[in-house]
Amino acid sequence: MKEQGVIFFDIDGTLLNHDKELPSSSKKAIFKLKEAGHIVAIATGRAPFMFEDLRKELGIDTYVSYNGQYVVLNGEVLYTNPLNIPALEELTKVALNNDHPVVFMDHEDMKANVPEHNYINESIETLKIDRFPTHDPLYYKGRDLYQTLLFCPEGTEQQYENGFDAFDFVRWHPVSVDILPKGGSKAIGIKKIVDQLGITSERQYAFGDGLNDIEMLTTVTNSVAMGNAEDKVKAVAKHVTKSVEDDGIVHGLKMVGLL
């Protein structure tokens, strides 16, 4: 057997295609990796409850969720990095005045600060998950939150970026951005896992396609951008594979010598 490696996969646009389906070729490849003794992990901006079915289907119990803010190794929580609640409370007040709703998210659930809004419907529906945020404007009180969704059109997030330096803002949809703790990223979450596992950088791999994958693809030695990734994402990766729709996972694993 080759020396054990650890491979981190983003979900949307990497493991899952545009229709939020897992190509059969990708599923077979992941099981081949596991049979060969490698560790297969997920690194996503999603909440843990948004990909529970996928973890079960693939038999994965190590993951970086919330873009690095909630990290689990072998089914046990390894690292958390919650949001600054007083700053979030202030941001929420500004957002409400702008008719920009927010959704508060912890490791178990998500709650909107307004009863309903078209922006929330439009963006959450694209995830094709079986859960939708219910209304609880005080959900941020007395609990750790690892990410908040701010719903605002492209270009309007600038005022929040300028006014709230406790956070990073990463757009994932034309009307929604992720609010993360300043400096938080998938790369930090991955480092927590690989340090614990003691796996050398030469045996670390990462696949991604989105803007929130840039830090991960920049820092992981064997980085692979999907063919459907944006150009700025491809530019930082060591390798560029085919599109997720065109057996990109299998092709990329062959490129880096794992299949």
Q: What is the CATH number of the domain that holds 246?
A: 3.40.50.1000
In a domain, 1, yes or no: no
Domain count, the chain: 2
Are residues 72 and 129 both part of a single domain?
no
Residue finishing a domain among 155, 181, 207: 181
Task: Say if residue 69 is in the same domain as residue 191.
Answer: yes
Residues with a known catalytic role: 10
Quick one: pLDDT at residue 117?
A: 97
Query: Based on the domain organization, do 72 and 139 belong to the same domain?
Result: no
Confidence category of residue 95, pLDDT binned at 50, 70, 90: very high
Secondary structure (H, E, C), the chain: CCCCCEEEECCECCCECCCCCCCHHHHHHHHHHHHCCCEEEEECCCCHHHCHHHHHHHCCCCEEEHHHCEEEECCEEEEECCCCHHHHHHHHHHHHHCCCCEEEECCCCEEECCCCCHHHHHHHHHHCCCCCCEECCCCCCCCCCCEEEECCCCCCCHHHHHHCCCEEEEEEECCEEEEEECCCCHHHHHHHHHHHHCCCHHHEEEEECCHHHHHHHHHCCEEEECCCCCHHHHCCCCEECCCHHHCHHHHHHHHCCCC
Looking at the DSSP bridge assignments, the partners of residue 128 are none
**pLDDT band (50, 70, 90) for residue 170:** confident
In a domain, 129, yes or no: yes
Of 144, 165, 181, the one marking the end of a domain is 181
Domain that holds residue 170: 85-181
How much is the pLDDT for 20?
Answer: 93
CB 206 within 8 A of CB 226: no
Residue 113 lies in a domain: yes
Structure confidence at residue 108 as a pLDDT band (50, 70, 90): very high
Residue 1 pLDDT greater than 80, yes or no: no
